[in-house]
Amino acid sequence: MKYLFTIISDFIREPERCGFDRMRLLKTFILLIVISTPFEILANEKSLFCPTYGFYTGKDYGSEYRFNPLNMMLNGGFDIFQGRPGNDHNIFRIPYMGSHATIWKNISHPVDAVKYTGGWKNFLETEVFPMTIDKRAKWPPNYSLHLIGGGIIYGSLVDYFNYYNIPAPHFFAFTTYYAYHWLNEVVENGYYKGRTIDPVADLWIFDLLAPFLVSIEPVKNLYKSLNMANWDMQPTFMFPDKSLENVGQYFSLKWKFPFFDNRHYHLFVYWGMNEIFGLSYKWDNGMALSFGFGTRTKRLVVVNLVGAGKTVSMVYSGGIFLDKYNSLLASMIVNFNYDQLLQFNFYPGWMKIEEVSPGLWVSVSPRGRIMAGIVINWLPGIGYKDPKFYRTDYTHNIKKLQ
């Protein structure tokens, strides 16, 4: 512990010793302050902007019980691990310093990034507007994850800080929200050092637009009418390879069948790195059982060295989910032709020993190898992974660009 405090102290006093540029850190901090302040001001005025959202209500069970800034940062910041080879899940191998410099270079000079990577027509067609449907299209995750999902995360953070009486909840919610998106871009960028438009679209457009949209009362009410919820995974640090597993940011919605009097049946969507569509049955006691089929991202593949253009390879997937009042209690996901054939997650709340409520998860590889973990209450978990769980042993392909 003393060694940890020494590292933190050295970073605060002399960030250059840790490989960070003092001025770049200062500029990033100022940027967060500048763009976070309007949300707190707007929330305190009598306007369309709402002070609370109803995504987080302090439940002591399920995925909502697990929600907090730390787990959100792990699930969202390292979500891309699901599309990387198994041995590339070590958070200590990521080139944070160099990747942060690349992200800052592109964010601070967005026009140059756009011009270098194909021009405005390419940027608008592939990143911003749904005008392409081929492998160049990057707009689907921008809308589903950054815009819609980002609104759920921002609203949940505001509710979380309100619930625990943190002052200026919108300010701290947006600062945390934007910092996690920045971490997500850093981790995804990896070793690439050139111009790229992916963080420009994400950080300058969709990640800024999401909090504004969800803060408008009619939009927030639409989210709630669709039972939108945050169903993140249970991040766990594994032994013996010090990797981070069972990490991922996921969302769900349950839309009651239109023009159908029976209130129990809903259309169901589960999305993140998985896209599962199906049906849901909701009982009067708040319990709901959902199932569906779809696809999931298997790998991110670099297809263009200019701008680190990437596409994804997809495989089939399906799942069964049990929740209570939109807080996920348990799930089973089956993936075909993926590193994890079966994924079981049991969230805290199903058993309590005084103030301790454990959660469990187990993953099975196509060859029958096992990795599993345990979480306690809201804390990240610890687990064990069979050293031969993943059959591949190579580093993230973006490193080949060097």
Closest listed residue to residue 341, CA positions, set 316, 313, 366 = 366
- What residue type is assigned to position 286 of the chain? G
**Which of 81-95, 239-253, 360-374 has the least mean pLDDT?**
81-95
* CA–CA gap between residue 117 and residue 401 (Å, rounded): 16
Other C-beta atoms closer than 10 Å to the C-beta of 30 total 10
Closest listed residue to residue 401, CA positions, set 220, 189, 93, 122 = 189
Average pLDDT, the chain: 84
Is the pLDDT assigned to residue 371 strictly greater than 90? yes
> Between 150-163 and 169-189, two packed helices, what is the crossing angle to 10 degrees?
140
Tell me if 310 sits within 8 A of 302, measured CB to CB: yes
Q: What Rg value do the Cα atoms of the chain yield, rounded?
A: 21
Name the pTM for this structure: 0.84
Instruction: Give Cβ neighbours of residue 249 (< 8 Å, ≥ 6 apart).
Output: 72, 75, 76, 79, 145, 149, 153, 230, 232, 233, 272
Is the pLDDT assigned to residue 298 strictly greater than 70? yes
Domain limits, the chain: 22-401
* CA–CA gap between residue 5 and residue 1 (Å, rounded): 6
* CA–CA gap between residue 365 and residue 244 (Å, rounded): 16
* CA–CA gap between residue 169 and residue 371 (Å, rounded): 38
Write out pLDDT tens, residues 240-280: 888 999 999 999 999 998 777 778 999 999 999 999 999 99
Better-scored residue on pLDDT, 73 or 30: 73
Write out pLDDT tens, residues 172-218: 999 999 999 999 999 999 888 889 999 999 999 999 999 999 988 88
Tell me if 319 sits within 8 A of 334, measured CB to CB: yes
* CA–CA gap between residue 255 and residue 363 (Å, rounded): 30
What does the DSSP assignment read for 119-171? Answer: HHHHHIIIIISS---STT--HHHIIIIIIIIHHHHHHHHHHHHHHTT-SSHHH
* CA–CA gap between residue 54 and residue 362 (Å, rounded): 31
Q: Residue 343, CB half-sphere, CA atoms under 13 Å: how many?
A: 23
Is the pLDDT assigned to residue 228 strictly greater than 70? yes
> At residue 69, what are phi and psi to the nearest 5 degrees?
-55, -35
Write out pLDDT tens, residues 183-194: 999 999 988 888
Sign of CA dihedral 258, 260, 261, 267: negative
Other C-beta atoms closer than 10 Å to the C-beta of 370 total 13
